[in-house]
Amino acid sequence: MTGQRAAREPYATRFEAEVTAVDGNRVWLETSYFYGASGGQPADRGTIGGLEVVDIQYVDGDPVHVVAEEPSFRRGHRVLCSVEWAFRMYCMRAHTAGHILAGAVKRTLGKGAVGNLELDEETVSLALEAESVDEETLLELDELVNRIVWESRPVSWEDVPLATARDRGRIRFNEDDASAVDVETDRVRVVTIDTNDSNGTGAVRSSARGQWDIAACGGTHVRNTREVGPVTVCGQSTGDDGLPTIELAVGPNAIERRAAEKRAAFATRRALAVDLEAVPDELDRLEPSSR
């Protein structure tokens, strides 16, 4: 199979494994469900035999687990391993949210506008191969992303031959991405956000039918977009190359962002002494006198 075991079975977080080698504070396991940083996604956290895992590195295709101190266990011992569920689930939600955003970008700015995806503890960042994005487009992206979360679309992953992926023009992938493409076996791991049966009201929106996003990806994902939870488009920044990057928040960060935006909107409403819906028109009316 292409990709990491953790990506194939992302909900597996507790397991027992035999230690195959120890070198200082580096540990090799016969079987591992720890995700090693790749494809824009950070490494898992957790414990091996009660020791904190501080990093997971892939060397010659094998995961090397770096623990906080030299372990007392040795080769041949069996150890209990635990992946930190809260961080794993955050990464699963955030990575899937990034794919939803990529699908929204394709529909608003064109397929060629989608660049690389990066996620950290605060935000999901999607680089664009496009010019600066205006505020109306950001609002449209936010609406589209939230609609796909609401519509509870299934998310799936599979291995396909590299030639098949090349023939499917809809699949976006970088053949140099070792987390998704195995050049030795000529296979690609493809993640698909597909159609849904219902958006919660008994009907599928006709404008949103079909595969929302299909891409080669080695990361961990949730099984359904509803698991992504609260999500909001924060805005855009400019990279060193001068191209824009769209930033997205998921979970508690998204909730805090929404709360901050509401506080700002309510404060503006109070200052202008108008209903919230009338704020834009009132600002337009006041703008000439402020020049």
pLDDT tens by residue, 109-158: 987 788 889 999 999 999 998 777 888 999 999 999 999 999 999 999 99
* Structure tokens, 111: 């397929």
Does residue 279 lie in a domain region?
Answer: no
Over the stretch 24-57, which tens digit does the pLDDT of each residue have?
Answer: 999 999 999 999 998 899 999 999 999 999 999 8
CA–CA distance, 192 with 99 (Å, rounded to integer): 9
137 Cβ neighbours under 8 A, 6+ residues apart: 108, 109
Residue 280 lies in a domain: no
Higher pLDDT, 281 or 102: 102
The rounded mean pLDDT for the chain is 87
Is pLDDT above 70 for 280?
yes
The larger pLDDT score, comparing residue 213 to residue 205, is at 213
Please check whether residues 145 and 240 belong to one and the same domain. yes
Q: Are residues 102 and 244 in the same domain?
A: yes
Q: Are residues 181 and 195 in the same domain?
A: yes
| The predicted structure's pLDDT at residue 95 | 97
Strand blocks (E) in 30-70: 46-48, 51-59, 62-67
pLDDT at res. 119: 94
pLDDT on residue 178: 67
Given 83, 102, 126, which residue is the final one in a domain? 83
Q: Range of 41's domain?
A: 14-83
| Total number of domains constituting the chain | 2
User: Is 269 contained in some domain?
Assistant: no
Give the tokens for residue 3. 């990709």
Please indicate, yes or no, whether residues 125 and 229 belong to a single structural domain of this protein: yes
Does residue 113 belong to any structural domain of this protein? yes
CATH code of the domain containing 122:
3.30.980.10
271 found inside a domain: no
Predicted TM-score (pTM) of this structure: 0.88
Within-domain flag for 283: no
Sign of CA dihedral 164, 166, 171, 172: positive
CA 15/CA 45 separation, integer angstroms: 14
Domain CATH code at residue 69: 2.40.30.130
Phi (first) and psi of residue 224, to 5 degrees: -150, 140
Is residue 239 in some structural domain?
Answer: yes
Q: What is the edge-to-edge ordering of all strands in the sheet holding 124-128? A: 114-119, 124-128, 244-250, 231-238
Segment 17-26 mean pLDDT:
96
Nearest Cα to Cα of residue 89 among 55, 121, 66, 114: 121
